[in-house]
Chain A
Amino acid sequence: MVKIKHIQVMTDDHFQFVRISEQVKEAVAESGIKNGMLFVVTAHTTTGITVNEGLSCLESDMQTTLENLVPDDYPYVHAHWLPSYGRTSANATGHLRAMLTGNHCVFPIEDGKILFGAAQEIYFAEFDGPQNRRITIEVMGE
């Protein structure tokens, strides 16, 4: 059996980590699936899904690290006129930071519960907000 749920997140800032574990747990409970796999996938190329400990200090460190790895000011080739869009692209940093977090996470499900480790939190990572964002939660199993 496969169950899919889409959730929306309206972010508040340019760079933001949004904790979504509770929404994912609800989706798993609604699915009725007891044993299987969970996939959480973002629909956007300037956002990510990542898993880490849910501490504000670590969120700050993750942001600093991604900003250091992908600096705001750099001659990115992406910064040019895009005729098919009718605009100039200016969000290379969002794309590259999203590449580093990846677009999804995976967890096993056992007895209807997500097998989280003791410290694990699922984050939706916004790298070009504020925006309306869509996340897909897919549960596969029986």
Chain B
Amino acid sequence: MVIDMCVHPGFLKEICGDEERVLFRRKHFGLYKQSVWPVELFIKQLDAAGIDKAVLIPEDLTVRCGDSIVSNEEIKTLCELMPDRAVGFASVDPNRADASEVLEDAFTRLGLAGLVLNPSTQRFYPGDEKLAPLYECCIRHDKPLILQMGVSLQPDAPAKYAKPLLCEDVLLSYPQLRVCVSHFGWPWVTDVAALLLKYENLYADTAMLYYDSPKEFMHYVFEEQMGRHWADRTLHSKILFGSGYPRIEQKRMRQAVESLELRDSTKQKILGDNARQFLYGEAE
């Protein structure tokens, strides 16, 4: 099974009934010319890329921007439209007074599969004490946490909040919480590799394309920024496939991962087996 850990669904037609909302998404997600298309086409794109399931990422920017890019309710709507293909995550702005209640509702009433937070756009440091109730809620419900780390391609998103070593406080305080550093924390990928070595509960996804073609960039990260054998020898159970769709097409990101000179068993883990472990705590 191939699982894409990083899909931003804000331009799917079924949740784009309001044109103002589409404009808000283009502005705050920073994808300025993105078209709107239906779930039917999204499923064709998944099929063409050979992807079985997509983790749908919402983003609650209520405090700073007055709205969410994609809400938890909209994620629920999309999951109902494609129950076999979508895994819906929840987002909550940690600066909201009712953040804990929103997350509890997302896990209990909406049945969402995990929490995703974006320190740069939501403006918080991962180790801040105010996050404790959210992390504890994830543990209480056995739900994983995605932290969007590294340089954000969204506007008005300072990188100072998203340096991967800031995750260490969370990893130390909550060893039972499964955490994924999204975008491999680029450009600080060796910091992420160092943390992956130490913390059993930490994962990182491949949703990163900042320079060059997907294949060229993936080779640069995994063969030049990091040692070319690190993934095969040590990190094979810690890396999750993610595309970052629609900022880049899933077909291209999958081909890029497939093109790495890794063992087939490592690729299989990266493309899906590790995601199942992260999402559901399933043993290898």
The answer to whether A binds B is yes
Q: Give me the interface of A with B, judged by CB distance under 8 Å.
A: 10-14, 73, 75-76, 79-81, 84-88, 90-91, 129-132
Which chain A positions have C-beta within 8 A of B252? 90
Mostly, the A contact residues are loop
Please report the C-alpha to C-alpha distance between residue A76 and residue B30 in the assembled complex, in whole angstroms. Answer: 24
Q: Give me the interface of B with A, judged by CB distance under 8 Å.
A: 29-33, 35, 37, 40-41, 44-45, 47-48, 153, 209-216, 247-249, 251-252
Which chain B positions have C-beta within 8 A of A84? 32-33
Please report the C-alpha to C-alpha distance between residue A129 and residue B37 in the assembled complex, in whole angstroms. Answer: 13
Please report the C-alpha to C-alpha distance between residue A132 and residue B48 in the assembled complex, in whole angstroms. Answer: 14
Interface centre among A12, A86, A91 (most CB of B within 10 A): A86
Given A79-B212, A79-B213, A81-B210, A87 and B40 contact (CB-CB distance below 8 Å):
no
Please report the C-alpha to C-alpha distance between residue A131 and residue B35 in the assembled complex, in whole angstroms. Answer: 10
Which chain A positions have C-beta within 8 A of B45? 130
> Smallest Cβ distance from A134 to chain B, in angstroms?
11
In the complex, 21 of the A-B residue pairs with CB atoms within 8 angstroms, ordered by the A residue number, are: A10-B41, A12-B44, A12-B47, A13-B48, A75-B216, A79-B213, A81-B210, A81-B211, A85-B31, A85-B32, A85-B33, A86-B31, A87-B153, A87-B247, A88-B210, A88-B247, A90-B209, A90-B213, A90-B214, A131-B41, A132-B35
A86 adjacent to B41 (CB under 8 Å):
no
> Smallest Cβ distance from A66 to chain B, in angstroms?
17
> Smallest Cβ distance from A114 to chain B, in angstroms?
30
Which chain B positions have C-beta within 8 A of A14? 48, 251
Please report the C-alpha to C-alpha distance between residue A11 and residue B44 in the assembled complex, in whole angstroms. Answer: 8
Please report the C-alpha to C-alpha distance between residue A10 and residue B215 in the assembled complex, in whole angstroms. Answer: 27
B249 adjacent to A90 (CB under 8 Å):
yes
Which chain A positions have C-beta within 8 A of B31? 85-87
> Smallest Cβ distance from A3 to chain B, in angstroms?
27
B248 adjacent to A129 (CB under 8 Å):
no
Q: Can you name 18 extra interface pairs (CB under 8 A) apart from A84-B32, A87-B153?
A: A10-B41, A12-B47, A76-B213, A79-B213, A81-B210, A84-B33, A85-B31, A85-B32, A85-B33, A86-B29, A86-B32, A86-B247, A87-B247, A87-B248, A90-B209, A90-B214, A129-B48, A130-B41
- Minimal Cβ-Cβ distance residue in A for B155: A86
> Smallest Cβ distance from B149 to chain A, in angstroms?
19
Please report the C-alpha to C-alpha distance between residue A135 and residue B49 in the assembled complex, in whole angstroms. Answer: 25
Which chain A positions have C-beta within 8 A of B41? 10, 130-132
B215 adjacent to A73 (CB under 8 Å):
yes
Please report the C-alpha to C-alpha distance between residue A79 and residue B220 in the assembled complex, in whole angstroms. Answer: 14
Please report the C-alpha to C-alpha distance between residue A130 and residue B251 in the assembled complex, in whole angstroms. Answer: 10
Which chain A positions have C-beta within 8 A of B153? 86-87
- Minimal Cβ-Cβ distance residue in A for B209: A88
Interface centre among B41, B247, B248 (most CB of A within 10 A): B41
Given A86-B31, A90-B248, A79 and B216 contact (CB-CB distance below 8 Å):
yes
Which chain B positions have C-beta within 8 A of A80? 211-212
Please report the C-alpha to C-alpha distance between residue A76 and residue B216 in the assembled complex, in whole angstroms. Answer: 11
> Smallest Cβ distance from B51 to chain A, in angstroms?
12
Which chain A positions have C-beta within 8 A of B211? 80-81, 88
Which one of A10, A79, A87 lies within 8 Å of B44 (CB-CB)? Answer: A10
Please report the C-alpha to C-alpha distance between residue A29 and residue B91 in the assembled complex, in whole angstroms. Answer: 53
A132 adjacent to B37 (CB under 8 Å):
yes
Please report the C-alpha to C-alpha distance between residue A34 and residue B47 in the assembled complex, in whole angstroms. Answer: 43
A130 adjacent to B32 (CB under 8 Å):
no
- Minimal Cβ-Cβ distance residue in A for B32: A86
Please report the C-alpha to C-alpha distance between residue A84 and residue B33 in the assembled complex, in whole angstroms. Answer: 8
- Minimal Cβ-Cβ distance residue in A for B215: A73
> Smallest Cβ distance from A18 to chain B, in angstroms?
13
Please report the C-alpha to C-alpha distance between residue A11 and residue B40 in the assembled complex, in whole angstroms. Answer: 11
Please report the C-alpha to C-alpha distance between residue A79 and residue B214 in the assembled complex, in whole angstroms. Answer: 9
Which chain B positions have C-beta within 8 A of A81? 210-211
Please report the C-alpha to C-alpha distance between residue A91 and residue B209 in the assembled complex, in whole angstroms. Answer: 14
